[in-house]
Structures are given as C-alpha cells and as structure tokens.
Amino acid sequence: MQLTPRNRKSFSIRQRLKSFVYAWRGLLLLIRQEHNAWIHLSAAAGVVIAGFCFKITQLEWIAVVFCIGLVLAAETFNTAIEKLANVVSPDWNELIGKVKDVAAGAVLICAITAAIVGLIIFIPYVFF
C-alpha cells in the first residue's frame, strides 16, 4: 500500500502513548493466560535471585537480562502466532500445526541458549 496524503497519518504523541497501553495490555494477557510464560518468569526470578546471591559481574548481568528478554519475547511471539493461527484456522489444520510447532521450537531454542548461558555464568560460582 502506497502512502498518499489521504491515508497517511500525522505523528501524534497521543497515538504513540496509546501504543504503550496496547503493549502493556498484551503483556498482561500473556502473563495471565499463558502457563509457559509463568514457567519462564519463575526461571527468570530464580536466576535473578541467584545473580544477587553470587554477586555476578556487570557483564554477566547484561547476559542474564538479555537472555531473559530473549526468552520472554520468543514466548510472546509464539503466543501471538498461536492465537492468530487459531483465528485463521479454528479447525485442525496440518500446516497450521506445523507453523505452531516451528514457533514453539523457536522458544525452545531461546530457552536452551539461555540455559547454556546461565550454566556458563553460574557453574564457576557454584563449583569453584
């Protein structure tokens, strides 16, 4: 779609602020309705507590925060894909099932990566 004077919206601070409201609403829906989000948040809380207990370095905190954000973002994308797929195809559909599996696989990749980073950071504190 090409922008023309008729369909181009001017910049509005009010609209930008509204976009934050929508984003927060989406996060609240994720937290309230998705059990996997609770699992990720619980793991994140445990890692943050461990980080304070072991007094990890600033660079280690950067890695931890990045990994937490990556996993939560992946779970959010996965949830959005699943909900959209359910609207597009309420009945079982093999291709939609594969799309959902791939999206879930992306979350798994992020979670495994985060776990490996966590092990790299915390094993020296625990065993050495």
Domain that holds residue 55: 15-127
Does 8 map to a domain? no
Longest CA span, the chain: 66
Does 31 map to a domain? yes
The structural domain count of the chain equals 1
Q: What's the token pair of residue 18?
A: 């509204």
If residue 115 lies in a helix (H) or strand (E), which one and from where to where? helix 94-127
Looking at residue 2, its pLDDT comes to 63
Size of the chain, expressed as the number of residues it contains: 128
Does 75 map to a domain? yes
Does 88 map to a domain? yes
Does 10 map to a domain? no
Does 2 map to a domain? no
Q: What's the token pair of residue 107?
A: 């979350």
Quick: pLDDT tens for 52-111. Answer: 999 999 999 999 999 999 999 999 999 999 999 999 999 999 999 999 999 999 999 999
Q: Tell whether the model's pLDDT for residue 42 goes beyond 70.
A: yes
For residue 122, the domain's CATH number is 1.10.287.3610
Q: What's the token pair of residue 125?
A: 């504190």
Does 5 map to a domain? no
Does 7 map to a domain? no
Looking at residue 5, its pLDDT comes to 59
User: Where does the pLDDT of residue 15 fall: very low under 50, low under 70, confident under 90, or very high at 90 and above?
Assistant: confident
Q: Tell whether the model's pLDDT for residue 27 goes beyond 70.
A: yes
